[in-house]
Amino acid sequence: MTRRIKNAPMNFKTVAQLDVPQGRQGKHKAIVTKILSDLGQINQTTALKVPLAGLAESKERVRAALNRATRKAGRNVATAADADFLYVWNESSQR
């Protein structure tokens, strides 16, 4: 006699693997993409002035996300901040 194992109830819903979104779209992606786009359009003597009031997250979190993205892309970028703005500029590869 073969025993049938009773399946435990599922804890989570299922979805077809084809319907699973591929690639991470983090919450900082929009601002980091905009910053990187603008950095590609400015020269070495210019910095971007990003208003902190317009950021959905803290400047520290945006800086960290920007750091990850620039390292991944092999770009040299520097940042500074004051009470109102995050400044971002292309850093020359030679020092």
What one-character-per-residue DSSP string does 4-67 give?
A: PPPPPPPSS----GGGSPPS---TTHHHHHHHHHHHTTS-TT-EEEEEGGG-SS-HHHHHHHHH
**What is 27-90's CATH number, 1.10.3470, 1.20.1440, 3.30.70, 3.30.1370?**
3.30.1370
pLDDT confidence of residue 37: 95
User: What residue segments make up the domains of the chain, in order of their start?
Assistant: 27-90
Q: Which of 74, 78, 73, 72 is nearest to 91 (CA)?
A: 78
In single-letter form, the type of residue at position 3 comes to R
- Read off the pLDDT of residues 40-88 as tens digits, 9 standing for 90 and up: 999 989 999 999 998 888 899 999 999 999 999 999 999 999 999 999 9
Residue with more model confidence, 94 or 10: 10
Whether 3 has a pLDDT exceeding 90, the answer reads no
Indicate the pTM of the whole model. 0.71
Whether 5 has a pLDDT exceeding 70, the answer reads no
Helix-helix angle 59-73:29-39, to 10 degrees: 60
